[in-house]
Amino acid sequence: MKCFDNKEYRREIVNYQTLISLEVPTLKVIAHTNCSILLEDIEKSIYRLGIPEDMNNPKITAAIAKWYKTLHEKGRKYANLHQLYDECDCITSENINIVIEVTGTRDLHIWHIINVNFDKIKSAAMKMPRTLTYNDFYYTNLAVTRDETTAIMYDYNMLGKGYVYGDIRNVCSSLGNDDAKMAFKSAYGTFDESEVVLDEIICTLQTLIVACEREVFPSWATDSLATVKDGRLLTAVERFI
């Protein structure tokens, strides 16, 4: 049973209902109230909990890709008809200024380039086709059938709408080796690769904005900060322009 004192997090209850209505595989929901949800016990179901080794297993990462493909294919119409959390919403001039101040990088040329081209970048990001996106991949949110032929993600607090490559990048960045990544991408199939160029910018800005909201700058955002300082973000913006 999951109980949500925070009203914002109660969106996960609705998210389970949404995915079930769209026939996207989830854990079985036994019952729910307006602030809690009762799910089947994974250990007594057809699934087992994900383990770190799953991130290196091409068979399992291919199964994960099939779940994501189903989510994206069935989520397109729904995402276009409903107001949902969108990771791009946080990308504002105000939030970028907070990042500049917190990271002490005001003197870097990249911020001038982003400021001049901000409307173009934000507009392009919001115009990319939307679908339902999971946004929170890790093995701790993974369930795998005991024969390892099927996998699903659970814990839908971060479920929202976004562009397909955002999810693909989110998964592949956590996978343990190239074979696992290749298996995921092969099983997922084709997607609009033009999203990759813009994602290099959007992903970095999203990560830094969220990181700079924390009292202590988190370690998982250090590489994104490095892309600002070593010129990788500038290269990505210039490529986009």
Mean pLDDT over all residues of the chain? 95
Domain ranges of the chain: 47-240
Confidence category of residue 64, pLDDT binned at 50, 70, 90: very high
pLDDT at 8: 87
Q: What is the pTM of this model?
A: 0.91
Q: Is the pLDDT of residue 28 over 90?
A: yes
Q: pLDDT tens across 183-222, in order? A: 999 999 999 988 999 999 999 999 999 999 999 999 999 9
Beta-bridge mates of residue 133: 160
d(CA 41, CA 38): 9
Coil vs helix vs strand at 129: coil
**Residue the block writes with tokens 């026939």:** 23
pLDDT at 106: 95
Length of the chain: 241
Q: How much of the chain exceeds pLDDT 70, in percent?
A: 100
CATH architecture observed for domain 47-240: Alpha-Beta Complex (3.90)
Coil vs helix vs strand at 88: helix
pLDDT at 85: 85
pLDDT at 178: 96
Q: Cα–Cα distances in Å, from 104 out to 160, 185, 209, 213? A: 31, 37, 14, 15
Burial class (CB in 10 A: 0-12, 13-18, 19+), 193: exposed
The phi, psi pair for 42, rounded to 5°, reads -55, -40
Q: pLDDT tens across 78-103, in order? A: 998 888 889 899 999 999 999 999 99
Query: Cβ contacts of residue 146 below 8 Å, gap of 6+?
Result: 46, 47, 48
